[in-house]
């Protein structure tokens, strides 16, 4: 592609070191779409005859078919996907192929391809996020009324429901969806026409090209357009955050499926056994998801580090953006699909949940609120309940089984109706504010998500 200036062939080790075809071949569809749009603009500008354009378009389509059929021979001598395809095109159609690269550089070409790739993968990921949300909403609805302890510091805190707990993840994934939709707007602009750095003396219709490729507009600065990779970093951040949310859900399910909690049972199809211990049923999918979140962050960080010190504009370091990008999309796609399946097949164990949520200490805060309703300032009420908890724990008595006398020995503010606090129905009914685990709120939110999804 550049023999004119050189008198020596590229060294083998340099070819090996610099090739990107072993992974960027994945961009072939986008590369071909970009080339067809570019060629059409060349024809409209009078740079190609209709026949030449047809030859290019048909040639590229036959290459596409061969790649998809697995017949295409990639060569590391041609470094990357752009040169592999262009050189094969010229081999197939002759002279018109050699005109294709007019007013174009691999710099704007690779930016175009990766933007198209990100856009397509973002769209798929958004669908997968909604599939996951649907599975969670279905479980939330199925087990909406099953009560469990909610935890802070992994210590029992206050009663919630399975429905409320699972819907928390639906909200997180909903924001992930919005974030990707927003990121997509910045991804979806066409850099084609920026050339190597400073556009071209041959002016093709950038808007026509952008429109053909489904871009919403064109980039406004040729140097920015070829140097910028923030659309990749932003995408990787969005994927990292999905990974974070899935990882936290995984940790909950690891705990819930343990003998100690027993809140849920994962299906045999989504767990694995031990080669040594016959009784084991391990939540490997959850653990892998937790583990893979680290890999998603690593991909984000590696691109940020690769880009941060680069002078404008293109530097070969930028080639390092693609493997992390591909890996993150591949990782998140599989993670979402397998977790969706696993959640759909998960069963909740109402008995174990009921036993855990029967702990009266979960209502200690409600008891403080009871005193507040009787006019006790909250800080003081907190102290009075703390004392009652100490008596209960010290005498090995459940808090709700302290006698009225025992309560009143702590404070006369405790009245005859003190035991009415220890009622879970009451605890949920009183929490009427939006966002609280009240059954009506849960039902409303389930209806909202079912409509939206
Ligand atoms: N394979 C290259 C990359 O991924 C394509 C752009 C090459 N541009 C250049 N000036 N060498 O970044």
Domains contained in the chain, CATH given = 12-102 (1.10.275.10), 107-355 (1.20.200.10), 359-422 (1.10.40.30)
8-60: per-residue pLDDT in tens?
Answer: 999 999 999 999 999 999 999 999 999 999 999 999 999 999 999 999 999 99
Share of residues in the chain with pLDDT > 90 (%): 98
Other C-beta atoms closer than 10 Å to the C-beta of 406 total 15
Share of residues in the chain with pLDDT > 70 (%): 100
Query: Best of 106, 194, 323 to mutate for ligand 1, by most ligand atoms within 8 A of CB?
Result: 106
213-257: per-residue pLDDT in tens?
Answer: 999 999 999 999 999 999 999 999 999 999 999 999 999 999 999
Query: Best of 2, 19, 22, 80 to mutate for ligand 1, by most ligand atoms within 8 A of CB?
Result: 80
Residue 3 confidence class, pLDDT cut points 50, 70, 90: confident
Active-site annotation holder among 7, 71, 153, 275: 153
- Atom 12 of ligand 1: nearest residue by CA position: 319
As given in the structure block, the two tokens for residue 304 are 């940020």
Coil vs helix vs strand at 435:
coil
110 CA distance to ligand 1 middle (Å): 7
Distance CA 236, CA 239 (A): 5
Other C-beta atoms closer than 10 Å to the C-beta of 18 total 13
279-313: per-residue pLDDT in tens?
Answer: 999 999 999 999 999 999 999 999 999 999 999 99
Query: Mean pLDDT, to the nearest integer, of 406-430?
Result: 98
Residue 191 has pLDDT above 90, yes or no: yes
Instruction: Give residue ranges with CB within 6 A of ligand 1.
Output: 20, 24, 80, 106-107, 110, 314, 316, 318-319
106 CA distance to ligand 1 middle (Å): 6
- Atom 7 of ligand 1: nearest residue by CA position: 106
Active-site annotation holder among 22, 145, 274, 420: 274
Other C-beta atoms closer than 10 Å to the C-beta of 350 total 15
- Atom 10 of ligand 1: nearest residue by CA position: 107
Q: Which residues contact 61 (CB under 8 A, 6 or more apart)?
A: 32
Contact between 179 and 238 under an 8 Å Cβ cutoff? The reply is yes
Contact between 22 and 39 under an 8 Å Cβ cutoff? The reply is no
The conformation of residue 69, written as its DSSP 8-state character, comes to T
Coil vs helix vs strand at 302:
helix
Segments of 162-293 assigned E as strands: 189-190, 217-218, 264-265
37 CA distance to ligand 1 middle (Å): 20
169-178: per-residue pLDDT in tens?
Answer: 999 999 999 9
153 catalytic residue (yes or no): yes
190 catalytic residue (yes or no): no
Q: How many helices (H) and strands (E) does the chain have?
A: 19, 6
- Atom 1 of ligand 1: nearest residue by CA position: 80
Q: What is the pLDDT of residue 443?
A: 97
316 CA distance to ligand 1 middle (Å): 6
Query: Mean pLDDT, to the nearest integer, of 102-106?
Result: 96
Residue 106 confidence class, pLDDT cut points 50, 70, 90: very high
Other C-beta atoms closer than 10 Å to the C-beta of 283 total 23
326 CA distance to ligand 1 middle (Å): 16
Nearest Cα to Cα of residue 181 among 211, 216, 206, 213: 216
207 CA distance to ligand 1 middle (Å): 24
Nearest Cα to Cα of residue 84 among 95, 75, 92: 75
Query: Mean pLDDT, to the nearest integer, of 130-137?
Result: 98
Q: Which atom of ligand 1 sits closest to the CA of residue 80?
A: 1
Contact between 102 and 202 under an 8 Å Cβ cutoff? The reply is yes
Nearest Cα to Cα of residue 109 among 24, 44, 211, 216: 24
69 CA distance to ligand 1 middle (Å): 26
Q: What is the pLDDT of residue 40?
A: 98
- Atom 3 of ligand 1: nearest residue by CA position: 319
pLDDT mean across residues, the chain: 97
Q: Which atom of ligand 1 sits closest to the CA of residue 20?
A: 1
Q: Which atom of ligand 1 sits closest to the CA of residue 196?
A: 10
Query: Best of 198, 319, 321, 325 to mutate for ligand 1, by most ligand atoms within 8 A of CB?
Result: 319
Cα 333 to Cα 4, 216, 330: the distances in Å are: 44, 25, 5
């Amino acid at each position: 592609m550049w023999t004119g200036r050189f008198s020596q062939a590229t060294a083998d080790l340099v070819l090996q070191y610099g090739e990107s075809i072993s992974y960027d071949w994945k961009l072939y569809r986008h590369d071909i779409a970009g080339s067809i749009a570019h060629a059409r603009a060349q024809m409209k500008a009078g740079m190609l005859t209709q026949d030449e354009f047809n030859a290019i378009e048909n040639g590229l389509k036959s290459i596409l078919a061969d790649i998809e059929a697995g017949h295409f021979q990639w060569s590391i001598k041609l470094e990357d996907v752009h040169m592999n395809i262009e050189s094969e095109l010229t081999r197939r159609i002759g002279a018109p192929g050699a005109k294709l690269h007019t007013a174009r550089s691999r710099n704007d070409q690779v930016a175009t391809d990766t933007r198209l790739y990100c856009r397509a993968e973002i769209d798929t990921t958004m669908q997968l996020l909604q599939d996951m949300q649907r599975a969670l909403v279905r479980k939330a609805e199925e087990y909406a009324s099953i009560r469990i302890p909610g935890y802070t510091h992994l210590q029992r805190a206050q009663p919630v429901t399975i429905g409320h707990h699972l819907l928390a993840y639906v909200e997180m994934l909903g924001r992930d969806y919005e974030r990707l939709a927003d990121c997509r707007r910045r991804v979806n602009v066409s850099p084609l026409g920026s050339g190597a750095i400073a556009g071209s003396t041959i002016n093709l219709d950038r808007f026509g090209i952008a429109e053909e490729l489904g871009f919403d507009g064109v980039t406004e600065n040729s140097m920015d357009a070829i140097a910028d990779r923030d659309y990749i970093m932003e995408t990787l951040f969005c994927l990292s955050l999905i990974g974070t949310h899935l990882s936290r859900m995984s940790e909950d399910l690891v705990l819930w499926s343990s003998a100690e909690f027993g809140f849920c049972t994962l299906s045999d199809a989504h767990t694995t056994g031990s080669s040594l211990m016959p009784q084991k049923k391990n939540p490997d999918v959850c653990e892998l998801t937790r583990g893979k979140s680290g890999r998603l962050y690593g991909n984000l960080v590696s691109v940020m580090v690769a880009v941060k010190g680069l002078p404008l504009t293109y530097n070969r370091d930028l080639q390092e953006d693609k493997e992390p990008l591909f890996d993150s999309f591949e990782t998140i796609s599989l993670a979402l699909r397998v977790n969706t399946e696993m959640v759909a097949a998960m069963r909740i164990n109402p008995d174990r949940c009921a036993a855990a949520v029967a702990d009266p200490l979960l209502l200690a805060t409600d008891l403080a609120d009871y005193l507040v309703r009787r006019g006790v300032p909250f800080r003081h009420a907190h102290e009075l309940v703390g004392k009652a908890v100490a008596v209960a724990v010290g005498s090995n008595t459940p808090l709700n089984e302290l006698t009225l006398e025992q309560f009143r020995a702590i404070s006369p503010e405790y009245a005859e109706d003190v035991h009415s606090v220890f009622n879970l129905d009451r605890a949920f009914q009183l929490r009427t504010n939006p966002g609280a685990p009240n059954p009506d709120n849960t039902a409303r939110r389930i209806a909202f998500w079912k409509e939206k999804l």
